[in-house]
Amino acid sequence: MPSEDFAYRRTSNAEPGAIEVIDNLEAVISQLSILDLEEGIQNQGTVSSTVLHLPVEILGEIFQHIVPGYLDINTKSTLANLCLVCKYWNCAARLTHRLWGRVSVTDDFVQHVSFSKIEAWLIRAKDAPRSLKIFSRDYRGPTFQDSQITQWLQPTTPLWQLLTQGPPLHHLSFSLSNPRCFESIVKSLNSSEAQKLTHRPWDSIRSLSLTFSVDWNDGAAFIFKNLPRSVTHLELDLPSAYLLCPGTHCRPSSG
């Protein structure tokens, strides 16, 4: 409202028009909105400041709830975003060693993540137990899946180098169709070229998990004869009786 109109209204008993009333209300609402925004920004700043400067240990616990399992193609982006919030959060994430110690290698990783990056993550785990899970999601039949994994583990390939020259591993997990594929992997890891290497992660794993989706009997004896001597815990996930005997209702022998 122009200043002369305002001065006039102060000395006049005339009723203000509808437009003037609306203008006055809009001015008041606008002012109140500005005050609310300023207060909200101030409160938001206080909350953000508090969250950004939580103790490193507490932030680490929160991060582990946000990224609770294995690092894969999806969770690695979540962890990367946490590290990009600020230097303090990046420091907190790097000091939370358990965040970096569990990695799941799948087809997505093979296509989009270098194995040198995986090795760097595992190294950041420092004194935390390191776990590596290897399986193929590209299901075109068990033979195709097995060939995928054995191809990843051919001598001199990055994943082969990770298991023969990378940081020590506590746990290793494979998802395969049958023991014959595991036999191929072990032979690759025990090739003459691999035998020349010392302090191999494969030789120091304490825990081994093997999942067989189709067959168990073919080549099963090989597993127990060729485990690394360091293994103290072996977990076997075997195919169901229905898969072993399709079209029947047979049950595993209790004897």
Per-residue pLDDT tens over the stretch 71-109 = 887 888 889 998 998 888 899 999 999 999 999 887 667
Q: Are 113 and 151 in contact (CB under 8 A)?
A: no
| Spatial distance between the Cα atoms of 166 and 212, rounded to a whole number of angstroms | 26
Nearest Cα to 179, choosing from 233, 219, 226? 219
Q: What is the pLDDT of residue 223?
A: 81
| Angular region, 199: left φ>0, alpha ψ -120 to 50, beta rest | left
Q: Inform me whether the pLDDT recorded for 8 exceeds 90.
A: no
Does residue 130 belong to any structural domain of this protein?
yes
Examine residue 137 and state whether it is found in any structural domain, yes or no. yes
In a domain, 239, yes or no: yes
Helices 87-95 and 56-66: crossing angle in degrees, nearest 10, is 80
User: Looking at the domain assignment, is residue 21 inside a domain?
Assistant: no
In a domain? residue 22: no
pLDDT value of position 242: 45
> What is this structure's pTM?
0.68
In a domain, 164, yes or no: yes
Q: Which residue has the tokens 């997990």?
A: 173
Total structural domains within the chain? 1
Q: What is the greatest pairwise CA distance in the chain?
A: 107
Rounded average pLDDT over 56-78: 87
Cβ neighbour number for residue 100 with a 10 Å cutoff? 21
Tokens of 36: 């609310």
Range of the domain at 184: 101-244
Does 228 reside within a domain?
A: yes
Q: Let me know if residue 4 belongs to a domain.
A: no
